[in-house]
Chain A
Amino acid sequence: MNWVVMGFLLLTAAALQAVVPARFFPLGQPPPFMLGLVIYYSLTRPVRFALVTALVAGLIRDSLSLVPLGYSSFCFCVTAWFVNRVRGDVFTHQPITWVLTGAVSGAGMFLVMAMLLVHAGLIADVWQRLIGRTVWAAVLGAVTVPLVSRAAEAIDARLGLIAMRNVRL
């Protein structure tokens, strides 16, 4: 059941990420709904589940854009592995944890992806407004990840996949 819910949530997040009107978001960056799910599963599930989520999320994200297959998976997998490693040292159900993890992951993923795409010769003008775009990626991560995590947590609780008492609906 966990896998089915994860697949459905990833597809919905991908569709939402691609449907949100661009004019609502400066610098052309859509809100990272998929990153939110990857972080949520990394903080709440075993490492194998988190890594598979990251792999699938990346493949979906790359398929729905012009990014070469595997680039986003790589970034998501590194994020998932790292978050899963440090989750024992943080309060996983505190909103501040989601906010900080979202901000750091958003900015980190933006920078790593920028380097990968520049290295592959696919983009050239990324260095313009790099600081601004990185900060914006961090802000989007900080805002989106807690919201997505809370929504995923609520869905999991409704479906009986996690204990209801942990969730503040």
Chain B
Amino acid sequence: MYLRQRHFVPLLIVGGLLAIALNLPGGIAEAVKSVVRESAAPLQELIRMVSVRLREGISVVRGIGGLAAENREMARELVRLRVRERRLEALERENLELRALLKFESKDSRKLIPCEVIARDASGWWQTIRLNKGTAAGVEKDCAVITPDGLVGRTVAASRNTAEVLLISDSACRVSARIPRSDAAGITVGAGVSERGQVLCLMKFITKEKPAFPGDEVVTSGLGGVFPAGLLIGYVERVHLGRNGLYQEAEIVPRADLAALRYVFVVVGDNADAERRGGAATGPQGGGDRR
């Protein structure tokens, strides 16, 4: 009989350890995970740095011929951005003056923490990324994560020097959203990748009275307390009726390139925001914005 053989003892020991690991209380399991994440982070950062340098080297060699054209295009872009910045400065001044006249107080005490993406989900079951900053830099659980292009996701776990971000393309990530053109509201959930390899989200529960059209901009509504209002999520690709025929559903193509993220910003709120988020559910199934 197999159990009588010498394999029995190691099998028993490993089985016991496995049972302990499977039944660890949530807090201790999270602490164990944090220790492993912290230990693996330097190695991941090193591997990532080498791969980035390698890629950059290849792209430099490939792009030598196009450098002059690229330089001209960047100069044009710089001029365009300077003109736009001047216009925005004037608008900001005007906005501040009007707010002062109306005695409005600025309630936006959020700050952005720049982070580098060092890894992705090792299991393949969720669409997550790992950042190189954690609680030591002020990154907490349930913070919005953005790029200059738009919303990326939210933090679902944070250790001292790393943070896990659930991407908006994951079906466990729900964001309260609206279409500014028609003021239609709904909830976006991740829908994975289309047949054409395009990352998609699905905006659900859009009332039929407020039609959505391809090309419409979709932004966060700010409801739920995790994602600040007005962050660009993406653009409507296709609209169809939901299964029950009561609501519309819109396929959204995220503006941020979720497949090639390198630098992101974590939006950190003030203490009041953190307290409001205090009741947020844990883990990926916790959803995101709650409506």
**Interface set of A (CB-CB < 8 Å, partner B):** 11-12, 14-23, 26-30, 34, 47-48, 51-52, 54-55, 59-74, 77, 81, 113, 117, 121-125
State which of B18, B51, B126 has its C-beta within 8 Å of the C-beta of A74: B18
Complex CA gap A11/B9 in Å reads 27
Measured between beta carbons, the chain B residues less than 8 angstroms from A113 are: 123, 125
25 contacts between A and B (CB under 8 A): A11-B43, A12-B43, A15-B119, A17-B122, A18-B121, A19-B51, A20-B120, A21-B260, A23-B197, A28-B124, A30-B121, A47-B7, A48-B10, A55-B21, A59-B36, A61-B122, A64-B40, A64-B122, A66-B121, A66-B126, A66-B156, A70-B18, A123-B125, A124-B171, A125-B192
Chain B residue nearest to A65 in the complex (CB): B123
Which one of B9, B10, B118, B124 lies within 8 Å of A30 (CB-CB)?
Answer: B124
B164–A66 CB distance below 8 A: yes
Contacts of B119 in A (CB 8 A): 15, 18-19, 64
Rank and list the top 3 A-B pairs by shortest CB-CB distance, nearest first: A63-B36, A48-B10, A70-B22
Question: Using a CB-CB cutoff of 8 Å, which residues 14-72 of chain B contact chain A?
Answer: 14-15, 17-18, 21-24, 29, 32-33, 35-37, 39-40, 43-44, 47-48, 51
Spell out B's residues near A (CB within 8 Å). Answer: 7, 9-11, 14-15, 17-18, 21-24, 29, 32-33, 35-37, 39-40, 43-44, 47-48, 51, 118-128, 130, 156-157, 164, 166, 171-172, 192-193, 197, 259-260, 283-285
Given the interface contacts A48-B10, A62-B33, A74-B18, does A23 sit within 8 Å of B260 by beta carbon? yes
Closest to A81 in B: B11
Which residues of chain A are within 8 angstroms of B123 by Cβ–Cβ distance? 61-62, 64-67, 72, 113
Whole-angstrom CA separation of A67 from B21 in the bound complex? 12
Q: Are A65 and B126 in contact (CB under 8 A)?
A: yes
Contacts of A60 in B (CB 8 A): 36, 40
Min C-beta distance of A54 to chain B, whole Å: 8
Q: How many angstroms between the C-alpha atoms of A124 and B37 in the bound complex? A: 26
Complex CA distance for A54 and B18, rounded to whole angstroms = 10
The minimal Cβ–Cβ distance linking A122 to chain B, given in whole angstroms, is 6
Interfacial chain B residues near A19, Cβ < 8 Å: 44, 47-48, 51, 118-120
What CA separation (Å) do A164 and B153 show in the bound complex? 49
- Given A18-B130, A59-B36, the answer on whether A69 and B22 have CB atoms closer than 8 Å is yes
In the complex, which of the residues B18, B35, B51, B122 has the most CB atoms of chain A within 10 Å of its own CB atom?
B122
